[in-house]
A and B are shown apart, each in its own frame.
Chain A
């Protein structure tokens, strides 16, 4: 079980589950959580490459720490926008927010 491939598979699975969640969820909070899953999939990748391949074993860990910090900032911004939207529409369901068609 202690091989690079296992961890890469876990990372890719997390990323795919997250992507599926973003595409399929209709609840904005759920979409936000799904995006966090995608970021964590990338984090698992960084840690795995760091553990098995990289000559300098700190780089991947530092990147992961940075990404965790950025993800927190991202969640804060996302929640503030969702809150503003909730005040206008009284719902956090994405179906209610469909007036513009890209």
Chain B
């Protein structure tokens, strides 16, 4: 039996990490050459992940499951990584000596998140999530000439390790209640013992590690500072690829309780409402575009939670669809940020003034991305929100859906401020034109088409997410 074929995407990213590890050892490094290498390898990585999308099987003493669910999320992570590498052509935020290390940590983190979405054993999950966090802890402080953001790295590290300690404590309680570390056993036994306090507390604490990665309400404190303080490319990576892995694991862990505990569901409802409301209200006053997107990501973690806490197959499918939509929309916004702030500084909203003249295509990509985040048809964001709310209504969470819709309306306000800056405001003093090469142009057009197509013809993709949700258990 050729078992190793199942592991090909991960092996490929191990190879990528090895290549850049060797590159980081050499004394002379040419950033442009490294960029070409990284771009090629990560593009091949996407192809490899697509080719292995239909594989199924178990590996490593059943601790590692390859199925449609994990392969779909691996594809999303690989896409996110490729997109981030794609926009590294002007990696001005990181010193030239560290470019090879930057790509190295990027590939290790991608590898770890791919292992995370596939692992179905508690220790494996813990090791995988720690590996991905450690790479991110080192990527965040890599920004050069950023004395005013010096504390970002240590803040992210301290909050991250505390959240992971919570998670480990939760896992230890789960282990005590279930006396087994395999996810299949946990799903089988946990609903029968969920009335024990240790089970609920363990599950909530174990989830907190993923809530931290997803920036859900009580674990969101790091998000604005890290988004603002990390280099633009790193922020993009944290905001897109890393969110996918977190969403995948939250879906898997919430399914553990199998609706047996009323208290657990109510807690998730409260977290979702607080996350949406807090994120949207605080985003209104932001001046820095990356900070604004950080608060919007907190709000979106709340929307995604609405689908997850329905705990039906349709709910999980809608959350997966929402994750796909979120990846595309957020990346569109970040790509525009990275292009407009070519030298790697933090983009203020007012610097977008007159963008529609300086670069109409980028302005349109930004507009569609923000419309998507706000949930305006016919973009993909509308369809995502619609599916999530429909799944919650089916379970009778009417109040939750109404709060979600009110929040979507509030969020429209600050997204429109950004669009207004790009389209209506005249710049106070002339900004230089934004150089757009043909690759970026192709990527923008592809993103625009993707956002509209996913929104107007979601049928195939919804069927795909439903199949993925079915393979979850």
Contact = CB atoms under 8 A, between A and B. Distances in A.
Interface of A: 11, 15, 18-19, 22, 28, 31, 35, 38-39, 41-43, 45-46, 48-49, 53-55, 59-60, 62-63, 66-67, 70, 73-74, 77-78, 80-82, 84-85, 88-89, 94, 97-100, 102
A102 B222 contact: yes
A78 B161 contact: yes
A55 to B, nearest CB: 6
- 5 cross-chain pairs, A with B, having the tightest CB-CB distances, nearest first: A97-B151, A38-B165, A45-B172, A49-B176, A42-B168
Given A77-B134, A100-B228, A42 B172 contact: yes
Task: Give the interface centre of A38, A39, A81 by most chain B CB atoms within 10 Å.
Answer: A81
B227 to A, nearest CB: 10
B157 interface: yes
B462 interface: no
Nearest to A18: B165
A95 to B, nearest CB: 11
Contact of B165 (A39, A59, A94, A102): A39
Nearest to B160: A74
Interface residues of B, number: 41
Interface of B: 122-123, 126-127, 130, 134, 137-138, 141, 147-155, 157-158, 161-162, 165-166, 168-169, 171-173, 175-176, 179-181, 221-225, 228-229
A19 B164 CA distance: 12
A70 B134 CA distance: 10
Contacts of B180: 59
A85 B154 contact: yes
A11 B123 CA distance: 19
A97 B154 CA distance: 9
A77 B153 CA distance: 11
A28 B181 CA distance: 34
Contacts of A39: 165, 168
Contacts, number: 114
Contacts of A82: 154
B141 A84 contact: yes
Contacts of A98: 151
A17 B164 CA distance: 16
A100 B225 contact: yes
B134 A74 contact: yes
B134 A73 contact: yes
Nearest to B282: A102
16 contacts: A15-B165, A15-B169, A28-B158, A38-B162, A39-B168, A45-B169, A45-B175, A46-B172, A73-B134, A74-B130, A74-B161, A78-B157, A82-B154, A85-B154, A97-B154, A97-B155
B151 A100 contact: yes
B181 A63 contact: yes
A59 B181 contact: yes
A84 B153 contact: yes
Given A31-B158, A70-B130, A88 B147 contact: yes
Nearest to A82: B154
Contacts of A49: 172, 175-176, 179
Given A39-B168, A63-B123, A78-B161, A85 B151 contact: yes
A70 B130 CA distance: 8
Contact of A102 (B122, B161, B162, B224): B224
A82 B138 CA distance: 11
Given A70-B130, A77-B137, 5 more contacts: A49-B175, A63-B122, A70-B127, A77-B134, A100-B151
Given A42-B168, A45-B169, A54 B179 contact: yes
Nearest to B167: A42
Contacts of B168: 39, 42, 67
Nearest to B176: A49
A66 B176 contact: no
Contacts of A15: 165, 169
A57 B222 CA distance: 39
A11 to B, nearest CB: 8
A63 B169 contact: no
